[in-house]
Structure 1
């Protein structure tokens, strides 16, 4: 498992450090996106600044992506292996209005946006709200 974590880091040109390995391990185990405060809860003695810098490094190197789901807390999730975080790589996110979890719907692409002439698309954030299968029981 450690070899897989190191390989993921090296593929994205991120130097493997103990903290980066631990954070990536936690992110790999998540089924939903995670916020910085949620991540902090998983590391009792970790420095908040170190965790934030680790997430920032992961985002800058396209290992994870950040999600503004409208809750006021940015969440993070692993990118797919070939993702370069270009608009064509983007997928829809789903925010459950019951449990507050944010899911990456990697099979649901963000629709193509046809902008007027001279407008340049840099990013798209599409969040769908509803009830997830776990809460719909």
Structure 2
């Protein structure tokens, strides 16, 4: 079963956020496992405004292309160029080296606790 980190909060669309400032954003292991081998990541540009619940990029795998949804509203401060250059990081380490971008948050979208996200999606809280 896929791991869900207890220290993070999650969107219904499978993105996670941490509690740092600026806030780090990534996709959950549940999403990475469902996608299969990730081969391409399209992220918002630094300085771009993102709005919670709206599409802000794409994650492409050998199985499909999925929209990436912003879990928070704010301005993108940094993107993880390493994940863009090596998209397999999203499968290998979705909560660590596979983070996607950071946002200076002005408003949070609806976020779930790790327990609520795991209950809804079949993951194990770690």
Same fold (TM over 0.5): no
Bigger relative contact order, structure 1 or 2 (CA pairs below 8 A, ≥6 apart): 2
User: Rg bigger for which structure?
Assistant: 1
If the length of structure 1 is used for normalisation, what is the TM-score? 0.27
Higher percent of residues as helix: 1
If the length of structure 2 is used for normalisation, what is the TM-score? 0.28
Higher percent of residues as strand: 2
